[in-house]
């Protein structure tokens, strides 16, 4: 058993967070991971796919126990109700991941307002729906609404500068995400072994705990994160490749089959993104070099530019192909840790394996090195 401050703050058994990945839902996965004793996160980005990716929107809605005839607020409330009911017996804790980039601000306000309404209408929901996790944007301006409603607020950052901005904004827990991470990554390639201890040091004395993300996938990497000063880890790609994962089977299998040097970076919806290496994503990388070279130069581009829009349209087509099971044209995101993933266990099996391995490592280290 590995216990940290993260467990105490969130009411979870193990210091692990399941990332709220999109564009597919995490509706079933969130229930499974919360029941396994970690923080389960619902993805909400699929709520914005009703026009551009109707098949994915339908998947998001129906896996949440809702109907495509429902408005978006009703869909989210039904997803939250289903998750609450699915975690009631175990007492599992869950939250919602909300993208707060400029492109997503309108939807972010809808999601957060709806979450607040849901817990006001059903106070019992708040027993396990405890977290709002913001990502892909500036944390400033969100704190009063989120913390005022009684949620614990987590925000993910790619830099020390971002972490200090979280401190200023009043974020409760900072997630430091290294460049190894899957899908949305950052403009500058700062990796977890540098970023995590740097953020821990920058926030020393603030009382804000730090969680590591990017490359974490097993007991070895959990133990490493704790050694770097983190209180736990967030994992996306590793949980994507589980039996309960809502993601398309083609996507899950692409992670398992990725192998050595199996990922690349190219343009994504809100900047750089890490993809599983396939003919489709290799072509997307070439197109990124031609149309949005700032991805490789650490220079943020204008998402409204013609080049960025073209690449985002290509991305939508690739993810739609993934949804359809079209392996030849599919585009599947994934972190660098995909090369270390070779199976598809249940969420509970995975969590127990990670925790047992980390516990054994942490127990053995003093005997090995401190004599």
233 and 274, same domain (yes or no): no
132 and 188, same domain (yes or no): yes
222 and 164, same domain (yes or no): yes
Q: Count structural domains, the chain.
A: 2
Any domain includes 288: yes
Any domain includes 362: no
Any domain includes 344: no
272 and 180, same domain (yes or no): no
183 and 329, same domain (yes or no): no
Any domain includes 348: no
**Rounded Cα–Cα distance for residues 346 and 350 (Å):** 6
- At 22 the pLDDT is 84
Any domain includes 86: yes
Q: What is the 3-state secondary structure (H, E, C) of the chain?
A: CCCCHHHHHHCCCCCEEECCCCCCCCHHHHHHHHHCCCEEEEECHHHHCCCCCHHHHHHHHHHCCCCCCCCHHHHHHHHHHHHHHHHCCCCCCEEEEEECCHHHHHHHHHHHHHHHHHHHHCHHHHHCEEEEEEECCCCCCCHHHHHHCCCEEEEEECCHHHHHHHHHHCCCEEEEECCCCCEECCCCCCCHHHHHHHHHHHCCCCCCCEEEECCCCCHHHHHHHHHCCCCCEEECHHHHCCCCCCCCHHHHHHHHHCCCCCEEEEEECCEEEEEECCHHHHHHHHHHHHHCCHHHHCCCCCCCCHHHHHHHHHHHHHHHHHHHCCCCCCCCECCHHHHHCCCCCCHHHHHHHHHHHHHHHHHHHHHHHCC
217 and 264, same domain (yes or no): no
**Can you give the CATH number for the domain in which 166 is found?**
3.20.20.70
171 and 299, same domain (yes or no): no
- At 128 the pLDDT is 94
Radius of gyration of the chain (CA): 19
186 and 315, same domain (yes or no): no
- At 104 the pLDDT is 79
- At 333 the pLDDT is 96
Any domain includes 92: yes
Any domain includes 367: no
- At 115 the pLDDT is 95
The residue out of 247, 268, 284 marking a domain boundary is: 247
- At 73 the pLDDT is 94
200 and 302, same domain (yes or no): no
pTM of the model as a whole:
0.95
Structural domain harbouring 209: 12-247
Q: pLDDT below 50 — which residues of the chain?
A: none
225 and 270, same domain (yes or no): no
220 and 268, same domain (yes or no): no
Q: Are 101 and 46 in contact (CB under 8 A)?
A: no
Q: Are 77 and 111 in contact (CB under 8 A)?
A: no
- At 367 the pLDDT is 86
**Rounded Cα–Cα distance for residues 305 and 193 (Å):** 34
The residue out of 247, 273, 306 marking a domain boundary is: 247
52-75 pLDDT tens trace = 888 889 999 999 999 999 999 999
For residue 284, which phi and psi values (nearest 5 degrees)? -65, -35
Any domain includes 151: yes
Q: Are 176 and 193 in contact (CB under 8 A)?
A: no
The residue out of 213, 247, 281 marking a domain boundary is: 247
- At 195 the pLDDT is 98
74 and 170, same domain (yes or no): yes
């Amino acid at each position: 058993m590995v216990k940290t401050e993260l467990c105490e703050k969130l009411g979870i058994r193990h210091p692990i967070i399941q990332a709220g990945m999109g564009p597919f839902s995490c509706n079933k996965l969130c229930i499974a991971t919360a029941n396994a004793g970690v923080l389960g996160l619902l993805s909400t980005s699929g709520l914005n796919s009703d026009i551009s990716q109707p098949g994915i929107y339908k998947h998001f809605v129906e896996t949440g126990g809702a109907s495509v005839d429902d408005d978006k607020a009703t869909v989210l409330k039904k997803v939250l109700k289903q998750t609450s009911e699915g975690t009631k017996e175990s007492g599992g804790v869950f939250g919602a991941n909300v993208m707060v980039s400029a492109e997503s601000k309108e939807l972010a306000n809808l999601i957060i307002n709806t979450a607040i309404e849901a817990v006001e209408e059903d106070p019992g929901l708040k027993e396990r729906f405890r977290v709002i996790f913001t990502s892909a944007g500036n944390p400033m301006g969100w704190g009063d609404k989120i913390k005022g409603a009684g949620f614990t607020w987590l925000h993910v950052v790619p830099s020390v500068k971002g972490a200090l901005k979280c401190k200023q904004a009043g974020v409760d827990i900072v997630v430091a995400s290294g460049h190894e991470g899957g899908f949305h990554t950052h403009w500058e390639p700062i990796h977890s072994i540098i970023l995590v201890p740097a953020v821990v040091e920058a926030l020393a004395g603030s009382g804000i705990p730090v969680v590591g993300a990017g490359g974490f996938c097993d007991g070895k990497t959990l133990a490493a994160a704790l050694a770097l000063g983190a209180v736990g880890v967030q994992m996306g790609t590793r949980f994507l490749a589980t039996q309960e994962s809502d993601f398309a089977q083609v996507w899950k299998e692409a992670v398992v089959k990725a192998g050595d040097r199996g990922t690349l970076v190219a343009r994504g919806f809100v900047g750089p993104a890490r993809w599983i290496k396939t003919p489709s994503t290799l072509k997307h990388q070439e197109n990124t070099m031609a149309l949005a070279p700032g991805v490789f130069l650490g220079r943020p581009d204008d998402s409204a530019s013609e080049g960025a829009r073209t690449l985002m349209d290509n991305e939508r087509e690739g993810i739609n192909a993934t949804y359809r099971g079209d392996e030849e044209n599919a585009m599947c995101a994934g972190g660098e840790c995909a090369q270390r993933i070779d199976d598809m266990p249940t969420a509970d099996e995975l969590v127990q394996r990670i925790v047992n391995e980390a516990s054994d490592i942490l127990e053995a280290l003093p005997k090995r090195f401190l004599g």
